Amino acid sequence: MSRRPVLAIALATGALLLTCLPSAAAERPGGDKEGGGGERLTIDTLSTRPDVVTGGDVLVRVAVPRGVDPDDVRVTRDGTDVTSAFTTAHSAADSAPATLTGLVSSLREDGSRLVAAVPGRPGARAALRVRDHPSTGPVISGPHERPFVCGTQSFKLVDGSTLGPPLDEDCSIATRVDHAYRSTDGSVKPLSDPASRPADLATTTTTTGARVPFLIRIETGTLNRGVYQISMLADPAAPEPTRTRPAEGWNGRLMYTFGGGCRGGWYTQGADTGGVLDTEMLGRGYAVASSSLNVFGNNCNDLLASETMMMVKEHFVERYGVPRFTIGWGCSGGSYQSYQISDNYPGLLDGIIVGCSFPDVTSATNTTLLDSRLLDHYFTATAPGGFSAEQQRAVAGFRERASIPNLSDGAKRLDPDAEFPAALPADRRYDARSNPDGARGTVFDHTVNVYGTDRRTGAALRPLDNVGVQYGLDALNEGVITTEQFIDLNSRVGGIDRDAEFTAARTAADGRATEAAYGTGRILWGGAGLATTPVIDHRSYTDDLPGGDIHMAVHGFSTRARLIAANGDADNQVMLAEDNRHGFSLRSPALRYALTEMDTWLTSLTALSPREEWTARDVVSRKPASLTDACWTKDAEPRKIEQRLGYDNAGECGALYPAFPTPRLVAGAPLADDVIACRREAVDPADYAVTFTSAELRRLRAAFPGGVCDWSKNGAGQRPHGGTWQSMGPAVGGGGAR
């Protein structure tokens, strides 16, 4: 089988191996082919890629060309005949090949060779090598994090009971099935007796037109040390649904839900998923899946989230069949996962609907949190009373001044002893004085398999930087703050060290960790899988919350700017905005509209060609004509306004839901907000709209001895994306927790 080249990046204290797994093009139509020319037998995997198989089995497809009797095909695994596991399907089109589909089990972790052949016909032969991994993982994310606290005893089922204690140190449970139903009062209730039909049982009509009782089947199990759940409409009185006998109520489509959060999202299995009991999704006939490690409040690591989603979807396909398409659904931390899985691991999600979105944790979010922490400290501790409330707001850029302390508190994810999951015992937690060998609670230490560690301290290397950043630059040029305020702010704002203690010096990023962040997709690029992914980005507007909020409209426009930079346009992304009355919920008419339109979009695309063959032109041309950027008014009965949404706040939508900059954008950073460490240039008085005295210029240059940010250039370490389907090798030196 052809393979993409191996990309190796050496980090400061150890080596991080980034291996590009076989591309979809290399896999399909499948494997190494032996003999003959023209039409040939092909063999490939359906449930996952051949190098990332888990759990000892994989769903395999053999395509049989015309002129070959499918009954003559034999399939072997490492020389053992497994043909009996396969069933035959004939295409309605005479020119299309028949296919054999079967679940091949007893795979080896060191690799198994699958061969499809017709005895006596040397040209009718195809081979494929697959590699199996444990169902407990890891597969692509690198070594398991330690410590790791199980959450099964707190994980509540639909009847209010819990999963109970885990069966092993990997937090495993026995897979179980529970049943529930939607009541005519709109609530979901447990179905204690599967043979019963409650008097208040509702019915629903799915997108395929099937009218079925609203009976819900919920499978719960563990994969990759996370608790997964899969729900669908299924009558418990009918035979158990399988891939060859689907549930009557399933519309053939899959929703995958991603939960939000980030703070404290490490060292724990978690006790919730992204939600699998949404009655709007289920009522339309979708199967719904999620895992506790797809909730960023449990696991703030998009790489581990990608791996977990990959494993859950593999299990779904092997158990229930290949969905026509899979839609990713998530807000906040769920948007990180949806965007980054789509770009870095294409094929897992076919389209995404995201809300309260950010491009990623590493760049836009962490940078904004760092700046807010430093500004809050400066305004309240270093120079109290030196800036009015309005001047502080102008320096930060936010609509509400209260967002400065709000986001400063959110910067606890950068502080190794500030926040931990409640389940992590105190004696396992890092404390610089009393427990320096404890688990460090930062987003960087949780992603140490990518970033590597500092051998001296055991802390993760950080792609975090504010060297050369001119805080309040736009406020200065607009006359909101004085030259004296600007110079004092930038002379004394400082940075934070690895323990999040304030320092007089600015924070400097580790160069190799920064390169890894770009190369591995921890900083969203947008030009890989996202280039051919239908996207609906919904904004429930919260910039105006009196107490401040992190989910600011600007972050959605930063993502759009990255798509444009990577692909030339963002025509595959539709943006919707409304007020905050519904949040990211299908109670919102805008989101119900979004789901309907996404289904139409993907139905059209899947009728055109398989996912791996979609082009950017295909995606845009198949977008429904009725699906456009839009906002809804704040009236009791909202009115839809169709217009292009933009950072320029143009039109009615811009007036209703204006975007405001972050501190880094006020300092001159590009809208894409994807520069970690800026390139620098000497202070030049001609670059300012104000005039400095000679003494002020000397002080300003002293504040920036290495120069100020030159935002016209790519950042230091800002390197090209290293390719999709990367796998992390062992990070020498270990993680932040030892």
Q: For the CA atoms of 189, 192, 197, 200, what is the dihedral angle to 10 degrees?
A: -30
- Which residues have a Cβ under 8 Å from the Cβ of 580 and sit 6 or more positions away? 540, 541, 542, 545
pLDDT reported for residue 123: 82
180 DSSP β-pair partners = 190, 216
Note the pLDDT tens digit of each residue in 381-438.
999 999 999 999 999 999 999 999 999 999 999 999 999 999 999 999 999 999 999 9
Q: Is the pLDDT at 12 greater than 50, yes or no?
A: no
pLDDT reported for residue 97: 74
Q: What is the mean pLDDT of the chain?
A: 93
431 DSSP β-pair partners = 435
Tell me the C-alpha to C-alpha distance, in Å, between residue 269 and each of 223, 224, 405.
Answer: 11, 10, 30
CA distance 526 to 721: 9
What's the mean pLDDT in 130-154? 97
130 DSSP β-pair partners = 112
The stretches of 378-497 forming alpha helices (DSSP H) are: 389-396, 403-410, 448-451, 473-477, 483-492
User: If 0-12 CB within 10 Å is exposed, 13-18 middle and 19+ buried, where does residue 691 land?
Assistant: exposed
User: If 0-12 CB within 10 Å is exposed, 13-18 middle and 19+ buried, where does residue 254 land?
Assistant: buried
Q: Is the pLDDT at 14 greater than 60, yes or no?
A: no
Residues of the chain above pLDDT 90, percent: 90
pLDDT reported for residue 265: 97
Question: If pLDDT is split at 50, 70 and 90, which confidence band does 20 have?
Answer: low
CB atoms within 10 A of CB 615: 12
Q: Which of 453, 228, 244, 443 is nearest to 333 (CA)?
A: 443
Least confident range from 35-44, 145-154, 356-365, 719-728: namely 35-44
Note the pLDDT tens digit of each residue in 656-709.
999 999 999 999 999 999 999 999 999 999 999 999 999 999 999 999 999 999
CA distance 664 to 558: 12
pLDDT reported for residue 733: 29
pLDDT reported for residue 91: 65
- Cβ-contact 68, 41 below 8 angstroms: yes
Q: Which of 488, 499, 581, 570 is nearest to 537 (CA)?
A: 570
Count of CA atoms in the C-beta half-sphere (13 A) of 680: 16
Residues of the chain above pLDDT 70, percent: 93
Note the pLDDT tens digit of each residue in 89-133.
876 555 567 999 999 999 999 999 999 999 988 889 999 999 999
Question: If pLDDT is split at 50, 70 and 90, which confidence band does 729 have?
Answer: low
pLDDT reported for residue 40: 87
Question: If pLDDT is split at 50, 70 and 90, which confidence band does 212 have?
Answer: very high
